[in-house]
Chain A
Amino acid sequence: MLFDALAAAGVFFPSFRMRRAFWTAGCFVSAAAWLLHAFWAGYFPMQTMFEVFLTLGMLLGPLSWFCRNRLSMNDPLSEFADALLGFLILFPAGFVFPEHPRPLPPALQSPLFIPHVLSYMLAYVLLAKAALHAAGGLTTASAFREKQSYRLASMAFPLLTLGLVLGSIWGKIAWGDWWSWDPKELWSLACWLLYLAYFHWRLWTGNRIIKVNLWMILVGFLAVLCTLLWVNLSNLFRGLHNYTG
């Protein structure tokens, strides 16, 4: 987290090598922390909120590499967004959520646990990056930022779909129901539908109304934050997905 914070601040440093060095070191340290925790817990760590945020931080490095090298997202805002995201993700893991692992309850002992949660983790990181690009493009209605946020949301959507589908199949196997109308399920569905509405809107209007496109990305990400944080942490929502703590 410290390296990510320095990388975020380091965008102001003129030296590209220093910025990249801090960022790379941050990625390796978060990956190492993830591996250590996995070894300690004895399972793929995605059960508690600490483990979820640790995994998100671990995934940020490879996904950022992918975006830089395969999607050609090399601009300074992308670099700053990655570092800022690393800090924002790992701060709760480091200072907010308890780190002690818990044994897996019977409902989580499934081969679908890893693919279901991992799909969502990958999608959430990409959607967070899309939201940062959208936020960055709001003031100037930048067509470039709009396109970047669209490309990132497009990469994330199949993962969001896969996570939703695997969750439903897992629900059938574990609880007998494809759909239990659980708050987490409903919020996950809302996220999927909001991004689906965005893609339909963009198919209709293209990038003629850039600010609306950017706001739709941000609204979708707000739903993601509610799904990931509000539903898990608030007493307003009681359901089958309260494994996190």
Chain B
Amino acid sequence: MNKIDKNHWRLIVSVVLLGLWAGLSIYGSFLGSQRAASFFQSFPLSLFWLTCLVFLLFSLLYIKLWTQPFLFMLHLGAAFVLAAGFWGSPKASAWRNHIWGTSEISKGFLFLAEKESERTVVDSDGRVLGSLPFDIVLERFTTSFYESPGLPIPRQYESRITIRQPDGSSSAYTIQVNRPLFYGGYLFYQHSWGKDEKGLYSVIGIVNNRGLSALLAGYILLVLGAAGQFWVIPFLRSRRKERPYSS
């Protein structure tokens, strides 16, 4: 085997980082979602993410990459996704609240009974995380089920809500599974529902949209970069081979 070209050290580091990342992902899969979330958001792993992001950003300065637009898009897309993941993470949200004195909510839940107004956001254990700057009223919550001989199989859950602003204005929305509401910098989605002595209640999940645009941009770059590099370029090369004398 020929000596390793020193200019290829980037590829060697890439293979090592990618292999390590794959190994960590496989390890994390055995932990369960909650423990995996704690593991991957721990300080050592945060350093690992930062290393990958810094390496990706440095790779974008590699001149040879500039002559290969689809590879550049792949690397830029990956950098966007990692950076947006940092920016939208619960830790980053806590840092922003600490540094800027904001009261941003990263992720929580609203427990809504019909005709009751709520703005307090709690976590999955019921601890108060904060309050929204507006009230949400659950006008009506409905569930529908498929006809089946055994246990009822849910078909859809729907929460019809009204959002009331402090200035008195209000607007009506419907939230279903896979049909969330984007409002006030947050995403409201139908998480679950329950029943207590008062009747049915709807559990609306609430997540902030920090990093949304960067993440979507990163995803678009990744998909277009991959399609271009692995489909378009080989296709164009094969066409050039078929027509060697075309001008």
Contact = CB atoms under 8 A, between A and B. Distances in A.
Given A165-B219, A190-B26, A193-B18, A204 B33 contact: no
A176 B191 contact: yes
Interface string A155-194: 1011001100100111011111111111100110110011
A238 interface: yes
A231 B28 CA distance: 13
A175 B231 contact: no
Interface residue tally on A, bucketed by range: 35 or more
Contacts of B154: 105-106
A15 B34 CA distance: 58
Interface in B170-225: 176-178, 180, 187, 189-191, 205-207, 215-216, 219, 222-223
Interface of A: 102-103, 105-107, 109-110, 151, 154-155, 157-158, 161-162, 165, 168-170, 172-183, 186-187, 189-190, 193-194, 196-197, 200-201, 203-205, 208-209, 223, 231, 236-240
30 contacts: A106-B154, A106-B176, A106-B190, A155-B231, A158-B226, A158-B227, A158-B230, A161-B223, A161-B226, A162-B227, A165-B222, A169-B216, A173-B178, A173-B189, A175-B191, A176-B180, A176-B191, A176-B205, A179-B85, A186-B28, A186-B36, A190-B23, A193-B18, A193-B19, A193-B21, A197-B14, A200-B14, A203-B11, A204-B8, A204-B12
Interface of B: 1-2, 4, 8, 11-12, 14-15, 18-19, 21-23, 25-26, 28-30, 32-34, 36-37, 40, 85, 88, 107, 146, 148, 153-157, 176-178, 180, 187, 189-191, 205-207, 215-216, 219, 222-223, 226-227, 230-231, 234
